[in-house]
Structure 1
Amino acid sequence: MTLVSFVVPAYRVQGYLRECLDSILGQPVTDIEVIGVDDCSPDASGDIIAEYAERDPRVTAVRLPGNVGLGPARNVGLDRATGEYVWFVDGDDWLAPDCLTEVADRLRATRPDVLLVDHVRTHWDDTATRSAMAEVFPEPPGPVTFRLRERPEALRLLHTAWNRLVRRRFLDQVGLRFAPGWYEDVSFSYPALLAADRIGVLDLVCVNYRQRRAGAITRTRGDRHFEVFEQWHRVFRFMADRGLDELRPAVFERMVWHELTVLGNGARIAPELRKPFFDRISADHRRFAPPDAPAPEGAEGLKHRLVAAGDWRTFSALRAASRTGAAARGRARAVRGRVLPPARRAARLARDALLREYYRAELRRPVDDGLAVYAAYWYRGYACNPAAVYEAARRLAPQVRGVWIVRRDRVHTLPDGVEYVVAGTPAYHRVLARARWLVNNVNFPDFVRSRPGTTHVQTHHGTPVKVMGLDQQRYPLGAVGMDFAGLLRRVDRWDVSVTSNSFSTQMWERAYPAAYTTLEVGYPRNDRLVTATAEEVLRIRAELGVSPGERVVLYAPTHREHLPRYRPPFDPERFLAALGPAGRLLVRSHYFHDRDRRRPADRDRIHDVSAHLRVEDLYLAADVLVTDYSSAMFDYAVLDRPIVVYAPDWDAYRLARGVYFDVTAEPPGAVARTFAELLDIFASDAVADDGAERARARFRARFCALDDGHAAERVVRRVFLTDEGRFALV
């Protein structure tokens, strides 16, 4: 018999769901099942569950035709559970490695009705907060069970569904299910403890409770937080029906604590709703207070007394005073932490200060409703997705004036007729301050402000293999010098995030959590790969010196942030020998190396193309791509030509830098782990055998489905034009 049924409801958790499912399915205990319930999620959560169900028989995928909410979705999974125990795990949380071994041992040894397990709150900034387990049980009970009247302090553990396993037959006997509405855990978790004859506690951190920066109910304001009251009323009705009055004082204290916690969270209760919410707490206090119930000590006791008296004025004044004091202490810490810049930078700082003042003055002038500003790769020039959007906008929205920002040393690379400003000049600050649209594939500098009525478009510049953004906090070797707080301030300026596929959407959502709108439309820069003609390909090859009949291989390795001096073992001469007399090799370094002078010199049939302005030309010219962990593989796959993953340092790279998926297990073609294997792939022509062709087809289906040649047009119509032809984000 299956020991544990995991019920995983999913709604808008596409960025986290894979980590959740992997953490369950990767446990060493095998007698489990996972029921993934897609609660009619508008993102790719349902597709992810279906993908896992297709490849793992332990996973059952359920798609609901309409959104029912977390509680009813859990009930749907519960109805399909066949395990002896049920564990409700939210789709954005994840289990600690190997924790299920001890959980299973404890379940088999004690057969509890409810087994409580420990957790940590894992915050978006990669910090963690302990639970109350150590305070509630300073001496863990060990492998014994008890009833709640024997250990009522168990009520003080967090009342969620995911920090406990519940025996399936016990739930049937009690008739316990989740109620609809928010705070549904309250009317499930407390009654489960109240009715259980055998409660166990496992003092082991099993769940990472993700504290999301954006998208969580606890960070959503609205009147639905008032639903907490009805959930608590259900608990008291449950107690009354079963004659459990002896536990009423402990449950009452938890109710008031919880309701005050909800009120105290400014991210939940808007200012105009705070007094009505407080009044409801006071009403519950009058309705459910046991006779002569003692108030807690200290500040909590004062809050209880004010609630009992219905004294909102005093309660509100004390709350405001407390917040003012905390803010003052924070400002004092900030002042103490300031460090003055070195004297030698005084002149430069003075100039920068004048330009910033000029920028602030320009911010006070009206937005130029016809101006769009473009930039790419930290002002390196005209390239990537912004260039494709610019070209489409010139065609579809000619009334929009497009201006590029470029470094002074890269001005000569701009195409004829492209209007530009040089980075750092007054003109640069002026267009940044007044533009209606800002389009970039990286972030603009920190001083740039997002003005009302403007739209900041983040196009990105690749589908991620390596972890990005906040996820890099778990891999400090690849995040040296990163300012994550500053990164989030920059991300908060985004209004639109353009993504190339569902996978990218999922990863950006977790790496860059903010309130932007995602346009999952394909990458504009790849339009050219779809629409290029045979004549254009021949012209590009001729410009690169490629003769008819030659087989061109483009080698494009990625950058190793954690090993900046590292170069993959690659001997161009030996590789060319494996290609044969009709072979030609193009070598392109990562754009981070644009000042690297240690590139190989051009020689017969070997060319360094690192300085070539548009990488799309190189893709069109190449017959085969060899890369490692670069996003180049996703773009090149649009052409449906052979790709070889050369991953000599894969094990070290994924451990030190972190990756989102295994390119050696789900590759776009043949895989080589050593240079000798790479040579053999080409010598044996395994680069294009049946296995490589099937791998590329799977890869293209997953990552290239949106690349139809019209991505830039979709961005322009969504960002610059409404159906009526007016400028707006729709």
Structure 2
Amino acid sequence: MTGGLDVVVAVRDGAAHLPTFLASARRNVAPGIRFVVVDDASRDGTADVLEAADDLPLDVVRGTEHRGVAASRNVALERCDARFVTFVDVDDWCAPGHLPALLTHAERVGAGMLRTDHVRVDGLRRTPERAPWDGPRGVVVPGRAGIGDAGGRALVDYPYLWAAVLDRTQVAPGLLRFDEDLRTAADRPWFWRLHLADVTCAVVDSPGYFYRRSAGSGSLTQSGEDRLLDFLPAYHRILDQALADGDLVVERRAVYGACRIVDFHVAKRDRLRPRLRRQLLAGAALLLARGSDEAFAAGVAGVPASGRRVLRGLREVGAAADAGAAA
């Protein structure tokens, strides 16, 4: 394992966004920084654009079969040989010097998992967003300190891979693998696994990552595709981890997260086709039926009042379905 920073980039049909990404990469080249790019069997001009960028430290892997973003990231991680690793999405960009600054922070602070801020991009609007951490910045703390109890925001529910730097000398390789059957939301159980394993973490000021949320950027949360529902199995895995952990506070946090994300998607269910709407409600009912009554009461209390009645109703439907299946 060498020093430096490997930047994992998974791309599929990203030719339209690659010029912005490559321009950003050129403003972040520094000794020890390399971009590990996995082209997930793109059907557009992605391969040609990447091949032409021979002035950049790119390690490009071209897949011949579409496997999904989680599998692409796993392929990239297997090729990484730097001590530190982070992620970049091709439809986003970094401010000049952002990646070298992250590497400096990671080397100085010494946490297994470094978290940072970002800038949300909605069209022409730029909104700085701070990582959800009320403690001192630049101070190493146990990973479980980033879980917290039900209510508010916590690091464990800040599922942005590009707002994290991992020290591979402190993180077991198995913890970094993504669940390849999740087409989206694979980052959520991934972060939970790291925090429950108590990988040390720290938060630093470095709002140099620009996260594009504009319509047309390819963001799944702005689409009505069926893979949007992958948040359901993702949260089942989070609950699996939390319940196996056996700490009621952890369980409350996990149930609270499930309540919040179900409330978000159910409130926007009209954007889905009728079949997907039914699948969303049925799947949400089974998800919310999990966990103790105490954990659910704490979790649903943190949801806006407008959604609590719906969530309670879904939990009742899910519990009845579970009881029927058991009978």
Pair in the same fold by TM > 0.5: yes
TM range (shorter): 0.7 to 0.9
- Out of 279, 283, 291, the position equivalent to 2:286 is 283
What's the counterpart of residue 106 of structure 2?
107
Q: CA deviation at 1:275?
A: 4.2
Q: CA deviation at 1:65?
A: 0.8
CA gap of 1:21–1:284, structure 2 versus 1, over 3 A, is same
CA gap of 1:311–1:259, structure 2 versus 1, over 3 A, is closer
Comparing 234-243 and 84-93, the one that deviates more: 234-243
Match of 2:66, SS?
Answer: coil
- Out of 259, 264, 286, the position equivalent to 1:261 is 264
CA gap of 1:43–1:182, structure 2 versus 1, over 3 A, is same
Report the residue type matching 2:70 in the other structure. Answer: G
RMSD (CA atoms): 2.7
1:210 and 2:205 aligned: no
What's the counterpart of residue 10 of structure 2?
9
Partners of 2:169 and 2:268 lie apart in 1 by 37
CA gap of 1:305–1:141, structure 2 versus 1, over 3 A, is farther
CA gap of 1:78–1:204, structure 2 versus 1, over 3 A, is same
Report the residue type matching 2:72 in the other structure. Answer: A
What's the counterpart of residue 179 of structure 1?
179
Q: CA deviation at 1:29?
A: 3.6
- Out of 228, 233, 237, the position equivalent to 1:230 is 233
TM-score in terms of structure 1 length: 0.39
Higher RCO structure (Cα 8 Å, ≥6 apart): 2
Partners of 1:189 and 1:7 lie apart in 2 by 16
Partners of 1:82 and 1:55 lie apart in 2 by 21
1:144 and 2:139 aligned: yes
Q: Is the 8 A contact 1:2 1:33 kept in 2?
A: no
Q: How many residues align?
A: 307
CA gap of 1:198–1:299, structure 2 versus 1, over 3 A, is closer
Report the residue type matching 1:99 in the other structure. Answer: H
Q: What is the aligned-residue identity percentage? A: 22
Q: Is the 8 A contact 1:120 1:131 kept in 2?
A: yes
Q: Is the 8 A contact 1:219 1:268 kept in 2?
A: no
Match of 1:33, SS?
Answer: strand
What's the counterpart of residue 640 of structure 1?
none
Task: Return 5+ residue gaps in structure 1 as ranges.
Answer: 313-730
Partners of 1:235 and 1:310 lie apart in 2 by 19
Q: CA deviation at 1:144?
A: 0.6
CA gap of 1:177–1:298, structure 2 versus 1, over 3 A, is closer
Q: CA deviation at 1:154?
A: 2.8
Q: 1:484-513: per-residue Cα shift (whole Å, max 9, x none)?
A: xxxxxxxxxxxxxxxxxxxxxxxxxxxxxx
Q: CA deviation at 1:132?
A: 5.2
CA gap of 1:20–1:90, structure 2 versus 1, over 3 A, is same
Q: Is the 8 A contact 1:114 1:196 kept in 2?
A: no
The 5-angstrom pairing of residues 221-620 of structure 1 reads: 221-243=224-246, 245-265=248-268, 269-289=272-292, 291-292=294-295, 293-295=297-299, 297=301, 300-310=304-314
Q: 1:582-601: per-residue Cα shift (whole Å, max 9, x none)?
A: xxxxxxxxxxxxxxxxxxxx
TM-score in terms of structure 2 length: 0.83
The 5-angstrom pairing of residues 654-665 of structure 1 reads: none
Larger radius of gyration: 1
CA gap of 1:108–1:191, structure 2 versus 1, over 3 A, is same
Match of 2:44, SS?
Answer: coil
Partners of 2:276 and 2:3 lie apart in 1 by 47
Report the residue type matching 1:6 in the other structure. Answer: V
Partners of 1:174 and 1:145 lie apart in 2 by 22
Q: 1:376-435: per-residue Cα shift (whole Å, max 9, x none)?
A: xxxxxxxxxxxxxxxxxxxxxxxxxxxxxxxxxxxxxxxxxxxxxxxxxxxxxxxxxxxx
Partners of 1:61 and 1:176 lie apart in 2 by 20
Partners of 1:309 and 1:270 lie apart in 2 by 22
CA gap of 1:198–1:191, structure 2 versus 1, over 3 A, is same
Q: CA deviation at 1:166?
A: 1.6
Partners of 1:4 and 1:271 lie apart in 2 by 46
What's the counterpart of residue 62 of structure 2?
63
Match of 2:202, SS?
Answer: strand
Report the residue type matching 2:251 in the other structure. Answer: R
Task: Return 5+ residue gaps in structure 2 as ranges.
Answer: 317-327
Q: CA deviation at 1:225?
A: 2.3
